[in-house]
Amino acid sequence: MTPGLRPLIAGNWKMNTLVGEAVDLARAVAAGAAGSKAELLVCPPFLYVAGLAGLLKESGVAVGAQDCHAKAKGAHTGDVAAAMLKDVGASYVILGHSERRADHGETDAQVKAKAEAAMAAGLTPIVCVGETLAEREAGEAEAVVARQLTGSLPEGFVNAGGVVAYEPVWAIGTGKVPTEADIAALHAAMRAQVGAKTRLLYGGSMKPSNAAAILALPNVDGGLIGGAALVAADFLAIAAAAG
Ligand code: 13P
């Protein structure tokens, strides 16, 4: 944790849940959210952002999306603009997740443009970075993340309250987690690069059993949770571990 920064526990639901499941999951998270020291955020698929933002309005649980387009509007079939997300009640948007970088070839420059669009629309961007297993084994993790941060964070990101999520690609959905020393070292390097005001989340196989230890590390200001965010009790247990 970083003194003065409220921890953020964010659930990335990815491409999961039918609408009934999404509503049940959101209701269960909201039911356990009262009194949480951490800020809670759920990021469902686009289709459910509006509905869940309405459902969660008074709950203290924020709603975000998993991507947005870099342009404000126009001829971009199938895409969603940041202003649309803001308009239906989203407050955050995850950008540059490694699955989007892999599935859609998103580059640092595109992530930066999306973050600019998000900020212009009044959304808080959560920009994801992280090395592959080959890069970690080659001793390049810190250099890769530093390069991604340089390329992906627009000017004004820090003052807009932008959030960074460190998600080692090899730890996502695998049950593998870096050592606490490795997480602390990587987060210290990110802190030196982005300064004291930016919340730095860890993501990758975070679960109730490892959350307290990870969240207690210096410069870890919350978590970006995938699989465990689909089980309300697990997500809430992780949030409770944040303080
Ligand atoms: P898991 O928690 O399922 O490893 O996913 C992490 C993630 O990618 C969150 O964005």
- Please count the other Cβ atoms lying within 10 Å of the Cβ belonging to residue 64: 25
Question: What pTM was computed for the model?
Answer: 0.98
pLDDT confidence band for 151 (50 / 70 / 90): very high
Torsion over CA: 220, 152, 10, 82 (sign): positive
Residue 191 to residues 4, 116, 216, Cα–Cα distance (Å): 14, 21, 16
Spacing, Cα 227 to ligand 1 middle (Å):
6
Residue nearest to atom 7 of ligand 1 (CA): 226
Q: How far is CA 195 from the centre of its chain?
A: 18
- For residues 77 and 61, what is the distance between their CA atoms, to the nearest angstrom? 31
Query: Which residue among 9, 12, 238 is best mutated to probe the pocket of ligand 1, counting the most ligand atoms within 8 A of its Cβ?
Result: 12
Query: Which residue among 176, 205, 230, 238 is best mutated to probe the pocket of ligand 1, counting the most ligand atoms within 8 A of its Cβ?
Result: 205
Spacing, Cα 132 to ligand 1 middle (Å):
14
- DSSP SS3 for 144: helix
Task: Write down the pLDDT at residue 1.
Answer: 84
pLDDT cut 70: percent of the chain above it: 100
Task: Write down the pLDDT at residue 60.
Answer: 95
33 in contact with ligand 1, CB cutoff 6 A: no
Q: Active-site residues: which are they?
A: 97, 167
CATH architecture for segment(s) 8-26+36-231: Alpha-Beta Barrel (3.20)
Task: Write down the pLDDT at residue 157.
Answer: 98
Residue 243 has pLDDT above 90, yes or no: no
Residue 54 has pLDDT above 90, yes or no: yes
On average, the pLDDT of the chain sits at 97
Task: Write down the pLDDT at residue 196.
Answer: 96
User: Closest ligand 1 atom, CA of 229?
Assistant: 2
pLDDT confidence band for 121 (50 / 70 / 90): very high
pLDDT confidence band for 169 (50 / 70 / 90): very high
Token pair recorded at residue 237 = 């247990």
User: Angle at Cα 188 formed by Cα 183 and Cα 193, nearest 5°?
Assistant: 130
User: Closest ligand 1 atom, CA of 227?
Assistant: 3
